[in-house]
């Protein structure tokens, strides 16, 4: 009997999924074979595990708790700049971690604005390094994400319910009990799990603000075992632990979370009839203003202190910037070569295994993949000479889950709408790919490419494992400048990196939507 006709082959997507799975499981196997289980877990390893769980738990709880207040305020107020603020809540996703950390140091550091203000009143300056610094940075990154997740929950309460509540003359308490509390019960566990999972595997924050026996995460311990002791066995053992942790957390997060916070329509303001008292207004204004300050001050600090540093940049910083642009470009190309065939295959209904391969990146830790790649490459080539391609590849795999979330729904739509027409016009294969699929996917491809480019541009992860002193991406160069206490130069370079990341995103995203018909 005739097979169900398809306008495009599902095979390349299956191949791409296989490459991703091989990379993740292959490096995992390499790590596992190298791990010396017999030696067991040392006391410093236990400390790292405890610290990892503590900081992730605290970061998740704080981020989500604050996000509930902020989301509630945003959900029931309409004000000038509301949609801009909500759009900005999406920005930390593509904000280079190292840039945010420089900004947080400028605001909350020993010599930062807050410390200076405290000094005026005779107080001690703030101490940002250690647990609270790590948590502060994680809240900075994840408060916006958690807010978007929870705001989505608020927006999904049908407007009719609020109208009904107003009709029944329900007060704030009743609205809370009837509408808001049940929604939060549904949404908050997912938000907690997502933020917890993200904080488990965050590396750059721990690298810059943590450290020492009391503030070392597992990712950081992998890096140290690898970089300082060159103890591959220990790095492998820690990688195994990290993999179990992130795998479990990602699994839980995917199970309990429905929303992804990437969706649009969050700037739609509901008509509400409650919360009109002066107290409620004041409280909401307080939430919104303090959140806006907390999120924008560090960025303002980077721009302010970086602007003067921008003219003092040394050639090696420009070199690093060029390197970052190349790595980011390569990473984006690799991402598209993986994600587009996979999205097409998923849209054709060959989904299960390919979708699983796509989200593997959420569970994998870049440092673990990096360690595995090092172990695999070491016997056959000099891993340090491959630092940049490896970084680009790992960045692409990390961006893959997000890219698929953007591409797959549109790919499904294109197949459903134009699949039969294309088949009946005998366009299967190349003509469908070039004349229908890619042109129809342009906006989504641009968005996904923009995210991938920005993520790769700002990444400070696997490059730290592989780089020798001669090679650096811009984030690594900034980290080195910070290590040498050249804060002015670091701030200038950070401003450059911020511009490059946002610029890459803007150009690719715009390019995708330029002259695109609906």
Partner 1 sequence: MLRLESCHIQNGAFTVQADLQIKAGSKVAVIGPSGGGKSTLVEAIAGFLPLTQGRILWRDMDLTEMAPGKRPVAMLFQDGNLFPHLTVAQNAGLGLRANLQLSSQEQAQVLRALQRVGLGDLAERKPAALSGGQQSRVALARVLLQQRDLLLLDEPFAALGPALKAEMLDLVAEIACETHATVLMVSHDPKDARRIADQVILVADGIAHAPLATADLLDNPPPALKAYLG
**Closest CB 278 distance from partner 1, rounded Å:** 50
Residue 169 or 424 with smaller CB distance to partner 1: 424
**Residue nearer to partner 1 on the CB measure, 210 or 446:** 446
Instruction: Give 410 or 480: the residue with its C-beta nearer to partner 1.
Output: 410
Smallest separation (angstroms) from partner 1 to the CB of 333? 23
User: Phi/psi at 499 (nearest 5 deg)?
Assistant: -60, -45
Largest CA distance in the chain: 85
Residues that bind partner 1 (CB under 8 A): 1-5, 417-418, 420-421, 423-428, 430-431, 434-436, 439-440, 516-518
| Sequence-distant contacts of 504-511: CB under 8 A, at least 24 apart | 504/325, 504/328, 504/450, 504/453, 504/454, 504/457, 505/94, 505/450, 505/451, 505/453, 505/454, 506/450, 507/450, 508/332, 508/446, 508/447, 508/449, 508/450, 508/453, 509/446, 509/447, 509/450, 510/446, 511/446
Q: How far is the CB of 63 from partner 1 (least distance, A)?
A: 41
Evaluate whether 47 touches 211 at the Cβ level (below 8 Å).
no
Closest distance to partner 1 from the beta carbon of 420 (Å): 6
Which pair of tokens denotes residue 441? Answer: 């996917």
CB nearer to partner 1: pick between 124 and 517:
517
CA atoms within 13 A on the CB side of 426: 0
Is the CB of 437 or the CB of 505 nearer to partner 1?
Answer: 437
Q: Is 324 exposed, middle or buried (0-12, 13-18, 19+ CB in 10 A)?
A: buried
- Least distance between partner 1 and beta carbon 417 (Å): 5
Rounded Cα gap, residues 64 and 403, in angstroms: 25
Q: C-beta of 431: minimal distance to partner 1 in Å?
A: 4
Q: Which is nearer to partner 1, 196 or 437 (CB)?
A: 437
Check the CA dihedral 313-317-322-328 and report its sign.
negative
Distance in Å, CB of 432 to partner 1, minimum: 8
Closest CB to partner 1 among residues 405, 435: 435
Residues 6+ apart with CB under 8 A from 248: none
């Amino acid at each position: 009997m005739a097979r169900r006709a398809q306008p495009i082959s599902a095979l390349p997507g299956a191949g791409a999924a296989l490459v991703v799975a091989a990379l993740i499981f292959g490096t995992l196997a390499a790590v596992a074979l190298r791990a010396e289980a017999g030696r067991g877990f040392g006391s410093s390893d236990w400390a790292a595990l405890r610290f990892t769980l503590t900081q992730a738990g605290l970061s998740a709880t704080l981020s989500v708790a604050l996000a509930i207040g902020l989301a509630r305020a945003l959900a029931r107020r309409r004000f000038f700049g509301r949609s801009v603020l909500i759009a900005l809540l999406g920005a930390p996703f593509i904000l280079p971690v190292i840039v945010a950390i420089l900004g947080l140091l400028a605001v909350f550091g020993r010599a930062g604005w807050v410390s200076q203000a405290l000094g005026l009143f005779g107080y001690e300056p703030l101490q940002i390094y250690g647990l609270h610094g790590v948590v502060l940075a994680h809240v900075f990154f994840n408060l916006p994400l958690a807010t978007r997740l929870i705001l989505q929950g608020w927006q999904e309460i049908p407007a009719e319910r609020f109208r009904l509540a107003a009709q029944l003359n329900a007060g704030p308490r009743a609205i809370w009990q009837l509408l808001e509390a049940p929604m939060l019960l549904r949404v908050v566990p997912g938000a907690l799990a997502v933020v917890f999972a993200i904080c488990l595997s965050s590396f750059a924050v721990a690298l810059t603000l943590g450290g020492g026996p009391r503030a070392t995460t597992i990712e950081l311990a992998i890096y140290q075992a690898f970089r300082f002791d060159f103890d591959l066995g220990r790095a492998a053992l820690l990688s195994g632990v990290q993999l179990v942790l992130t795998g479990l957390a990602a699994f839980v997060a995917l199970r309990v979370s429905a929303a992804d916070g990437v969706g649009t329509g969050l700037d739609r303001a509901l008509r509400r009839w409650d919360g009109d008292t002066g107290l409620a207004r004041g409280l909401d204004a307080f939430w919104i203003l303090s959140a806006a300050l907390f999120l924008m001050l560090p960025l303002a600090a980077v721009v302010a202190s970086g602007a003067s540093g921008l003219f003092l940049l040394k050639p090696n910083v420009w070199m690093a910037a060029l390197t970052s642009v190349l790595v980011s470009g390569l990473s984006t190309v690799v991402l598209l070569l993986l994600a587009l065939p996979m999205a097409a295959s998923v849209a054709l209904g060959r989904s299960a295994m390919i979708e699983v391969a796509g989200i593997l990146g959420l569970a994998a830790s870049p440092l673990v993949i990096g360690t595995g790649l090092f172990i695999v490459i070491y016997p056959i080539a000099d891993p340090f000479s491959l630092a940049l391609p490896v970084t680009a590849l790992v960045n692409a795999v990390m961006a893959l889950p997000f890219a698929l979330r953007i591409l797959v729904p549109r790919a499904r739509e294109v197949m459903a709408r134009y699949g039969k027409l294309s088949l009946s016009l005998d366009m299967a294969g190349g003509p469908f790919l070039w004349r229908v699929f890619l042109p129809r996917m342009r906006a989504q491809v641009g968005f996904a490419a923009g995210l991938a480019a920005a993520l790769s541009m700002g990444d400070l992860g696997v490059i730290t494992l592989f780089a020798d002193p001669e090679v650096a991406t811009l984030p690594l160069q900034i980290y080195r400048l910070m290590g040498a206490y050249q804060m002015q130069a670091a701030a200038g370079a950070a401003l450059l990196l911020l511009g490059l990341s946002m610029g890459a995103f803007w150009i690719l995203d715009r390019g995708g939507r330029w002259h695109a018909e609906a």
